[in-house]
Amino acid sequence: MKTTRRAAIPLVPVALVVVIVVIAGAFGYYFLTASGTISSQSAQISTQSSQIVSLGSVVSSQSSQVSTQSAQITSQSGQISAQAAQIATQATQIAADNSEIANLTSKVNSLKTQVTADQAEIQSLTSGYTKANATITSLNSQVASLSMQITSLNGQITSLQAQVSMLESVTGLSDSTTELNAQTFHTGSGGNVSVVTFTAKYAGYLAMTVTSASDYSNEGGTMGITYASSVNSPDYLGIIIPFSNGFYPFGGVPDTLIFPVAPGTITVYLATSDNSSQSATLSVIYYY
């Protein structure tokens, strides 16, 4: 049997057709897919357009606000510039103040040092003041004691001045006491009679005055002294004046006889020369 061969189909054209068909299918699929996507995106674009319109209104509003805020910013910028100038001025002032503060701080530190020195000086002066007060108290006590001594010494001086005055009067024989005043005595038959006895404290003299006498030419006076212990007379305890146991006669009427006096007991006598009975009126004054 005879075999009939079919004519061979060319492969290249077939491959091209297949490729075309595949591409066409792919393009169709892509077109369908792209159409859906485009529709979806068109809807989205429409929505976004509405949003854009809305946002445009918002942008317009915000643009107005931005303009207002820009004006405010411009105004505030001017204020900021003015405040910056003030800050710069204040910074300069602060720098000057800081310099002044530093200067004052230095002065304060110097004053603190001076205060510390002054406080030390005050403590030293206070200590000295305390010691001085103690010294003053001691001196006041001494002054009080000395014042008492002065008072006592003034009393002694007053007493001594009185004694000096008395002694001056004694040495001047300016003081006197009347021991007998115009009394009449009679000698009797014994010839002598005691007329007065007294104590003489100081040396001086005695004045015996006769103012009347029965026989003055036969009458006179005599005196006896018993020495006081202050009299330095180791050989005699006393003395009779005149020593010869006679008497000093009266020279007339009136007349005064003067006798020296030493400290002791003094006795004055009226005497006669013949132991006859006579009379006389006598006064005796002691001067010292």
Sign of CA dihedral 178, 286, 219, 190: positive
169 falls within a domain: no
Question: Same domain, yes or no, for 82 and 180?
Answer: no
**Do 266 and 197 contact (CB within 8 A), yes or no?**
yes
Residue 50, phi then psi, degrees to nearest 5: -60, -40
Residue 259 belongs to domain with CATH number: 2.60.120.1300
C-alpha–C-alpha distance, residues 226 and 262, integer Å? 9
Q: What is the pLDDT along the chain (288 residues), one digit of tens a residue?
A: 555 555 555 666 667 777 787 787 776 777 677 677 777 887 887 888 788 778 778 767 877 887 888 788 688 878 878 888 887 888 888 788 888 888 888 888 888 888 888 888 888 888 888 888 899 999 998 989 888 898 888 888 888 777 766 666 556 688 999 999 999 999 877 678 999 999 999 999 999 999 999 999 899 999 999 998 888 776 678 888 987 668 899 999 999 999 999 999 999 999 998 778 899 999 999 999
262 falls within a domain: yes
Into how many domains does the chain fold? 2
Q: Quick one: pLDDT at residue 100?
A: 85
Q: Quick one: pLDDT at residue 199?
A: 96
**End position of a domain, from candidates 115, 135, 152:** 115
**Do 273 and 238 contact (CB within 8 A), yes or no?**
no
5 falls within a domain: no
19 falls within a domain: yes
pTM of this structure? 0.43
Range of the domain at 212: 175-287
Q: Quick one: pLDDT at residue 220?
A: 94
Q: Quick one: pLDDT at residue 4?
A: 53
3-state secondary structure of 229: coil
Sign of CA dihedral 117, 123, 129, 135: negative
**End position of a domain, from candidates 79, 95, 115:** 115
3 falls within a domain: no
276 falls within a domain: yes
Question: Same domain, yes or no, for 93 and 184?
Answer: no
Question: Same domain, yes or no, for 274 and 185?
Answer: yes
**End position of a domain, from candidates 75, 99, 115:** 115
Segment (H or E) for 202: none
Question: Same domain, yes or no, for 80 and 181?
Answer: no
183 falls within a domain: yes
The partner residues of 129 in beta bridges, in order of sequence, read: none
Residue whose C-alpha is closest to residue 231's, from 196, 266, 179: 266
